[in-house]
């Protein structure tokens, strides 16, 4: 699949890799530039979204365009069409501070000081051009593998002096609660709150209601006793109720931080903090978007914050190369004839536009700040529904299991929303089956106690087969990291095939003709499997004193009441070129030739459609690829 989409709309020149998040009015995806393979993040807002949401995306682009810092995720492009809007941004390959705190609870002081300094430097760049972030929180701070944090999401940023109650209540400064003007010291307050959380392992204020949080942020004393004594003055000033008593801007906060850190932890505090952060982030590398998607990290970007796109000419003229920027993301230069625009990261973004781009200026004159190019794209032809990837991260403390990067497939772009919802529910079922199966490993108190303070980790990788127009077939391959639990010694497959006309998952009875379940039909199915080590292993496992007995029968393709934690023992999977017969692996033998019966993953037996299509129902065969 190429491009990204909200509904049927996609940005040309980019290939979607996986979905990073989605909401009612838009989504964020990881994508690659098709020509260079350079990874980016694309935030989409549907044209059906309310006008305030669309305006918010334009606003975020304007704010990002003004900020140039290695500690801020860069903006590459803003695109609008009749079908929606999108911004193309740097894909920061790291893990959010929120996830780090969720995993570890707190950071040691030098690591907390280091992550604070990095994001404060990002705020410093914003404050230098008159932009206030207004939503500094752990989820908006990302720690890459080098341990140097970056600031993301300028969705509710504003020009200094703007008044608004927008923000995250847990970290909102008193002036935000009162609807007063927000300035750089507003961000300082939020940063101090997050720093407190990093060191103390808890938020400074934890009321369960918005009114309670408002009262605490406005009047409650700062609970400094939970912090190491050397850090208390830093937090006390940063969280002062009166903006005038705080550090006036992020850079002043950085200076206070560095002085405090050197005095309390020595001149090498930052080197030690970076090492600790890098190690901490690396331990959660499965959450890194590029690693999770199997993509290589990009080559380091060149100097500058990224060059804005612009276009020249009329009709189908391409975007010209942007000129040198000022303090922002890059100034718009004269349009050229090359039809491409160069970003600072070294990849070319092609832009097919219906007319010259409109340049959106920042808060001040274009001569003093950067601008972002605004492309009005030509409507594109409607496309068929597409299969995208979503990810689940979820804790199951009752069974000491964490789902981490649990990928599953979802459908986008269907005309009938109810059918799409039913299809997506069916596509989620195999992931839920995998979770239930691996929770079964720790079903007893003794097995859970063996984990101590640890937990088992489960991730899944999506293998896509048919992707429409009528059938979608997917398989979820588990990646299970066991720390404790009673191994059931069998390992099922997790798959689903969904009919996009109804949104319903096919059962084996929808696939096979009734007569195919008899001995002759199942023997044909067994004989259709190509000879090889895996087939030989299954044959050995199903050979007793009376000889070989076929493991395939009607019961194998249906749920077994004796194994409620497991999906069916055998499952059909439909690929673009062949049928795959999925079968549960069993660890029932010794790992030595010639009778190795150890198998800790499901089998996937590829079979040409021509060899098995006569076993299928005729109405299904019509939907399958030609043999």
User: Residue 622: how many CA atoms within 13 Å on its side-chain side?
Assistant: 4
Residue 587 region by backbone torsions, left for phi larger than 0, else alpha for psi between -120 and 50, else beta: beta
Three-state DSSP class for 216?
helix
Active site residues: 135
SS (H, E, C) 115-131: HHHHHHHHHHHHHHCCE
How far does Cα 514 stand from its chain's mean position? 43
Structure tokens belonging to residue 476: 């979820």
In the chain, what are the helix, strand and coil shares in percent, each to the nearest 5? 35, 25, 40
Structure tokens belonging to residue 78: 């803003």
Structure tokens belonging to residue 346: 């070294």
State the Cα–Cα distance between residues 352 and 378, nearest whole angstrom: 8
Asked whether 114 and 144 are in contact (CB, 8 A), the reply is no
State the Cα–Cα distance between residues 95 and 91, nearest whole angstrom: 11
Query: H or E stretch including 426?
Result: helix 417-439
The pairing of strands 490-491 and 456-467 is unpaired
Q: 197, 130, 201, 194: which is closest to 160 by C-alpha?
A: 130
The pairing of strands 570-574 and 578-583 is antiparallel
Identify the DSSP state of 398. Answer: G
Name residues whose C-beta falls within 8 Å of residue 510's C-beta, 6 or more positions apart in sequence.
617, 620
State the Cα–Cα distance between residues 511 and 501, nearest whole angstrom: 16
Structure tokens belonging to residue 239: 């969280």
Q: What is the DSSP string of 567-612?
A: --SEEEEE-SSEEEEEE-EE--SBSSTT-B----S-EEEEEEHHHH
Name residue 477's beta-bridge partners.
Answer: 461
């Amino acid at each position: 699949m190429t491009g990204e989409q909200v509904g049927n709309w996609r940005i040309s020149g980019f290939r979607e890799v996986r979905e990073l998040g989605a909401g009612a009015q838009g989504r964020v995806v990881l994508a690659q530039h098709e020509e260079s393979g350079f990874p980016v993040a694309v935030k989409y807002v549907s044209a059906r979204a309310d006008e305030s949401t669309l305006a918010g995306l334009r606003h975020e682009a304007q704010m990002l365009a003004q900020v140039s810092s290695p500690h801020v995720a860069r903006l590459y492009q803003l695109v609008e069409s009749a079908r929606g809007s999108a911004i193309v941004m740097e894909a920061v390959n790291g893990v959010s501070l929120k996830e780090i705190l969720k995993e570890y609870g707190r950071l040691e002081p030098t690591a907390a000081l280091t992550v604070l300094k990095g994001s404060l430097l990002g705020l410093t760049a914003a404050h230098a051009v008159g932009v206030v972030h207004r939503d500094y929180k752990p989820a908006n701070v990302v720690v890459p593998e080098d341990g140097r944090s970056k600031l993301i999401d300028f969705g509710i940023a504003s020009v200094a002096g703007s008044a608004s109650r927008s923000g995250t209540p847990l970290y909102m400064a008193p002036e935000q609660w009162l609807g007063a003007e927000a300035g750089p010291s507003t961000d300082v307050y939020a940063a101090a709150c997050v720093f407190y959380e990093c060191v103390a392992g808890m938020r400074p204020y934890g009321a369960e209601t918005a009114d309670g949080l408002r009262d605490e942020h406005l009047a409650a004393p700062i609970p400094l006793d939970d912090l190491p004594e050397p850090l208390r003055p830093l937090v006390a000033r940063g969280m002062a109720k009166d903006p005038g008593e705080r550090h006036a801007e992020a850079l002043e906060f950085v200076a206070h931080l560095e002085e405090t850190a050197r005095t309390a932890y020595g001149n090498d505090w930052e080197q030690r903090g970076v090492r600790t952060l890098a190690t901490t982030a690396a331990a959660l590398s499965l959450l890194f978007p590029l690693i999770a998607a199997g993509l290589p990290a990009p080559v380091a970007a060149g100097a500058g914050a990224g060059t804005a796109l612009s276009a020249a000419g009329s009709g189908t003229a391409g975007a010209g190369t942007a000129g040198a920027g000022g303090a922002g993301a890059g100034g718009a230069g004269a349009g050229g004839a090359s039809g491409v625009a160069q970003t600072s990261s070294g990849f070319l973004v092609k832009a097919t536009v219906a007319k010259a781009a409109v340049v959106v200026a920042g808060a001040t004159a274009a001569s003093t700040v950067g601008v972002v190019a605004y492309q009005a794209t030509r409507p594109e032809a409607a496309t068929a529904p597409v299969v995208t990837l979503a990810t689940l991260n979820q804790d199951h403390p009752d069974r000491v299991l964490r789902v981490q990067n649990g990928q599953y497939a979802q459908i986008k772009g269907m005309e009938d929303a109810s059918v799409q919802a039913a299809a997506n529910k069916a596509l989620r079922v195999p992931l839920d089956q995998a979770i239930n199966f691996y929770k079964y490993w720790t079903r007893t108190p003794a097995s859970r106690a063996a984990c101590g303070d640890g937990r088992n980790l489960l991730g899944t990788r999506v293998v896509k087969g048919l992707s429409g127009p009528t059938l979608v077939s997917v398989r979820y391959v588990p990646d299970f990291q066991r720390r404790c639990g009673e191994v059931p010694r069998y390992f099922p497959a997790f798959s689903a095939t969904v009919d996009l006309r109804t949104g319903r998952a096919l059962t084996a009875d929808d696939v096979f003709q009734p007569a195919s379940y008899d001995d002759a039909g199942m023997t044909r199915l067994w004989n259709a499997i190509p000879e090889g080590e895996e087939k030989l292993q299954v044959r050995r496992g199903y050979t007793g004193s009376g000889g070989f007995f076929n493991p395939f029968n009607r019961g194998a393709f249906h749920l077994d009441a004796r194994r409620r934690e497991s999906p069916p023992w055998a499952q059909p999977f439909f690929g673009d070129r062949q049928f795959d017969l999925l079968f549960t692996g069993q660890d029932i033998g010794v790992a030595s030739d010639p009778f190795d019966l150890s198998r800790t993953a499901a089998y996937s037996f590829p079979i040409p459609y021509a060899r098995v299509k006569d076993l299928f129902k005729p109405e299904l065969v019509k939907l399958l690829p030609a043999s």
